[in-house]
Structure 1
């Protein structure tokens, strides 16, 4: 099989997690800001899309070069082997972005890249007229950064956070990729209880269940590269069958999601059923202040309200303080909270064991981690 240069894009702060996932799929990778580069064949394209829980999307790198003039951008784009990827019938829209570059007009860069690809394809397919573009979709991106142009084709289609199970959502749902990351950044293992006291539309508990049973996050959806003629459907079939074999449906899970809003609890239940996990997760209406448990060594993960809106901050901070009192005696439990409130520890009443900077969309947040006692070792 041919080797391709692949780029998994990621949210700021999640690069190391994405890299870890790529390595666990068996590929060496290099980490940069917001992108992780690695090499792989057609199978790697299918596996990455199916399995990466924390990446935004998987792009195929066609070329990278310095370009400070439109002529340079045109000639160097035209010199790339587009016919290797694009069939004669390909639909190939070009999107773009430009940061700190002399070529700052994105629409002009898009038009030039499009024209250069058309010229290259005309020569290869011996055509004089325009291409009809009525075949499979190849979304091309030209990204300029400090005068270096990176040309890629998107292999994913919809972003990888779109797992296909969300039938309903609350006001500000957390992205599935970030939810998976929050779970993966905890010390949770599938044999321990996990609770999300601010479950919203159920994303955190659902992602935890997928991780707990080792179910590929992309199992229930389609990807744009499934329609490409140079990746055989056999590759996709094999990767899906392998994912089915790797899933551990017998793993018993103890996952609970609760929310103060009964409508959101209902949405969570519907989303969990859509994901095929309806029987595995318990959802209930409850305030975080009413949480009690006799279980040991569990994990609480939450994305509570941040109090970003005017007038909400005081009420939210009062809730943080009540939550701190509620969780105070759970000394064997580990607690993880994501919020943009920089005074969270003060209100919660305890400094975090560790903090990690993450972005929830465009909101700068901290992931406050409180580690509980370690479970006793099980004697063989």
Structure 2
């Protein structure tokens, strides 16, 4: 089958996570750069990658890449690409773009030039001057970085974070893709106890449960490229059938979510049920200040309130103090906290973070503070993050 090049785009800081996911799917020769992982594949791989990637934002099909310092070059090189191999005569295509540190600074102009070039290429190939654009969606993206233009087709459509289970989300809700990454950057596995003491709409625990049960995150949604004639329907059917066969049904996990807001608990339960993991997680309305831990070992992963979720500094201060009192002597617990508050380590007195990772929750810059606990059955501290 003909080789193609795919690009998994992602949130800055998650390159190693997405690389590991692709390796687990059997891909090698991965080219990693800021915000993306590029790799060789076949057309039949497009369904598999879209169904299984947990922490990537989108899967793009690379059409071409070239230096473009002026609009004439952008037009000519775009026109030269074989768009007709993918876009049908009735196909609908919009163009979105980005330009960073390049001479072609006007994104709107770049989009217009690319659209014109694609239209004129398809007009010649299909011998028509009019396109109804009533068929499948073929989203085109033009990205110009340091005068290097990359033209792609978006095979995902809506972002991969759109799993389809989150019917309700609270304020400043964490993206599903980021939540999955937080779990994969921790020492949690399906045999270990996991608590989110401020679970919001339950996303972190739901993603953990899906990982534990090996549920493909895209199993219950559609993708733009499902309707492309260039990808055999059989490939999608086989990929989905295989994904369903991989789900682990006979499994018990220790997943607990708490939140002081009753509506959040309701949303968490509803979302978990929609994701097919409603019976795997125990949600309970509880203030973190009332949290009582009697287990010797466990893991906490939580998206702490910061600004958007809690504007009252006094309340935030009380929360930090309570969390510190609960976990500062729990050396068998590994603690993972996502927050935009850079002062959090000053309040958690057990130790300085073993690792701090800068990430983005949407447009908000956050820190993922990682405190490693002792391994179960050992007095030895967990030393390395699983990357």
Indicate whether the TM-score tops 0.5.
Answer: yes
TM tier relative to shorter chain: over 0.9
**What is the match of residue 335 of structure 2?**
335
**Residue matched to 1:142:** 142
1: CA distance, partners of 2:309 / 2:246: 44
- The within-5 A match list for 1:160-179 is 160-179=160-179
Inter-CA distance 13–263: structure 2 relative to 1 (3 Å threshold): same
Aligned twin of 2:18: 18
User: Match of 2:382?
Assistant: none
Q: What is the number of equivalent residue pairs in this alignment?
A: 376
Residues 299 and 335, structure 2, Cα contact 8 Å, conserved in 1: yes
Distance in 2, matches of 1:328 and 1:114, equals 58
Query: Which stretch shifts more, 330-339 or 252-261?
Result: 330-339
Which moves more between the two structures, 157-166 or 311-320?
311-320
Shift, 1:280, TM fit: 1.1
Decide whether the 8 Å contact of 1:6 with 1:37 is kept in 2. Answer: yes
Residue 310 to residue 259, structure 1, CA distance change in 2 (3 Å): closer
> Residues 290 and 326 of structure 1 are in contact (CA less than 8 Å); yes or no, is this contact kept in structure 2?
no
| 1:186 Cα offset (Å) | 0.6
Counterpart of 1:65 in structure 2 is 66
Q: What residue is the counterpart of 1:101 in the other structure?
A: 102
Partner SS for 1:369: strand
After TM superposition, the runs of 4+ consecutive aligned structure 1 residues lying more than 4 A away are 308-311
CA distance in 1, matches of 2:144, 2:357: 30
Using the TM superposition, give the Cα deviation of residue 43 of structure 1 relative to its aligned residue in structure 2, in angstroms: 2.2
C-alpha distance in 1, partners of 2:311/2:221? 41
The structural deviation recorded for 1:230 is 1.2
**Counterpart check, 1:246 vs 2:246:** yes
Q: 2: distance between equivalents of 1:243 and 1:291?
A: 38
CA drift at 1:68: 1.3
Q: Is the 8 A contact 2:328 2:349 kept in 1?
A: no
The corresponding residue for 2:183 is 183
- 1:48, CA displacement in angstroms? 0.8
Distance in 1 (alpha carbons) for counterparts of 2:31 and 2:234: 29
CA–CA distance in 1 between the matches of 2:139 and 2:309? 37
**CA contact 1:317–1:344 (8 Å) conserved in 2:** no
Q: CA shift at 1:316, angstroms?
A: 1.0
State how far apart, in whole Å, the 2-side matches of 1:102 and 1:331 are: 54
- 1:56 is matched with which residue? 57
SS in 2 for 1:374: coil
Whole-Å separation in 2 of the counterparts to 1:103 and 1:204: 40
Deviation at 1:294, TM superposition (A): 2.9
1:221 counterpart = 2:196: no
- What TM-score does the superposition give when structure 2 sets the normalisation length? 0.94
Answer with 71-80 or 93-102: which moved more. Answer: 93-102
SS in 2 for 1:59: strand
Give unpaired runs (5+ residues) of structure 2: 379-387
In structure 2, the residue matched to 1:115 is: 116
1:276-318 Cα offsets, whole Å, 9 max, x none, are 1111110001111222233332111111112468962342133
CA contact (8 A) 1:12 1:34 kept: yes
Q: Any idea what the Cα deviations from partners look like across 1:233-265, whole Å, max 9, x if unmatched? A: 110111111111111121211101110101110
Over the aligned positions, Cα root-mean-square deviation in angstroms equals 1.5
The residue correspondences of 1:215-364 to structure 2 (distance < 5 A) are 215-307=215-307, 312-350=312-350, 351-364=352-365
2:43–2:231: 8 Å Cα contact kept in structure 1? yes
CA contact (8 A) 1:339 1:366 kept: yes
- SS for the counterpart of 1:149 is strand
Which residue of structure 1 lines up, in the alignment, with residue 372 of structure 2? 371
Q: Kindly indicate whether the alpha-carbon contact (under 8 Å) linking 2:52 and 2:218 is maintained by their aligned counterparts in 1.
A: yes
Q: 1:166 to 1:308 in 2, by over 3 A?
A: closer
- Find the aligned partners of 1:222 and 1:336 in 2 and give their Cα distance: 32
